[in-house]
Amino acid sequence: MEKLIITAAICGAEVTKQHNIAVPYTVDEIAREAKSAYDAGASIIHLHVREDDGTPTQSKQRFKQCMDAIWSVCPDVIIQPSTGGAVGMSNEERLQPITLCPQMATLDCGTCNFGGDDIFVNTENTIIQFANAMKPLNIKPELEVFDKGMVDMAIRLAKKGVIDMPMHFNFVMGVNGGIAGTPRDLVFMIGSLPQGSTYTVSGVGKCQFDMATMSIILGGHVRVGFEDNIYLSKGVKANSNGEMVSKVVRIANELGRAIATPSEARSILGLAQK
């Protein structure tokens, strides 16, 4: 079985210090959390950035500051900027970090209700716009899918040449408005993938470690971190992203799955070596 790629989603755009005091906002805090995850075994840092007061931003300048700070303490880690940003941002605003030419960036493959009146809008034309912006920069998209229909959208656009094969997916499971985080649903999603695809599983909230364990067993990869969940176990808040990564490493070790280094992750995902 392939070695396990662990992605750490260290802060997201919605979770705050009121939820967990360890959620990073400042450049130094983001570098600290990235290093804690990297030291524990993460090969990829999925990156949102914040202003110092916690306000989410897609500012190219802020991304550059944070990426440089992360690389200063984790020189070979893969940094994967989010182009999802936060609900309500324009396409142009969301696309800013790709101008820094990261090896990977996220590409959301459909619109999703996020609870209450929040709608995360990704029309077909938006998906095409983002894919077309990434391709000439040689950025590999991680295809963010919240439901099975988003997998179908990605496949349809790949057949049209908009998205290159082989594709790498991230199943975001357990979001209010998306597919549930259950073993049945994960098996269903995996069965929807085209030949040669790779996938990561991001369980949100209480299903995070259940879905991580299932993905380890089934040959997929894993994302954990404060963006998706603030608890290490029921009622126990994590002190760092590194604690969550360490828990995944322990589970993987028990199940006989080796952990990929950043170099090995690049090989698995078809990225150039740094």
Q: Confirm whether 274 is domain-assigned.
A: no
Q: Residue 65 domain-assigned?
A: yes
Q: Are 109 and 150 in contact (CB under 8 A)?
A: yes
- State mean pLDDT over 236-253: 98
Using pLDDT thresholds of 50, 70 and 90, give the confidence band for residue 53.
Answer: very high
Q: What is the pLDDT of residue 257?
A: 98
pLDDT of residue 93: 97
Does pLDDT of 192 surpass 90?
yes
Structure confidence at residue 274 as a pLDDT band (50, 70, 90): confident
* pLDDT exceeds 90 at position 204: yes
Question: What is the structure's pLDDT at 97?
Answer: 98
The reply to whether 1 falls in a domain is: no
Does residue 72 have a pLDDT over 90?
Answer: yes
pLDDT in tens, 116-147: 888 999 999 999 999 999 999 999 999 999 99
pTM above 0.85, yes or no: yes
d(CA 235, CA 98): 37
> Cβ(198)–Cβ(269) under 8 Å?
yes
175: pLDDT strictly greater than 90: yes
Best CA proximity match to 204, nearest among 233, 180, 235: 180
Establish if 223 belongs to a structural domain.
Answer: yes
Cβ–Cβ < 8 Å for 22, 37: no
For the segment 18-28, the average pLDDT, to the nearest whole number, is: 98
Residue 13, domain CATH: 3.20.20.70
Instruction: Give the pLDDT band of residue 39 (cuts 50, 70, 90).
Output: very high
Query: Number of structural domains, the chain?
Result: 1
Rounded CA-CA distance 221/224 in Å is: 10
pLDDT per residue over 78-117, tens digit each? 999 999 998 889 999 999 999 999 999 999 999 999 888 8
Q: What pLDDT is attached to residue 1?
A: 86
Note down the domain range covering 53. 6-269
Q: What integer pLDDT is reported at residue 115 of this predicted model?
A: 81
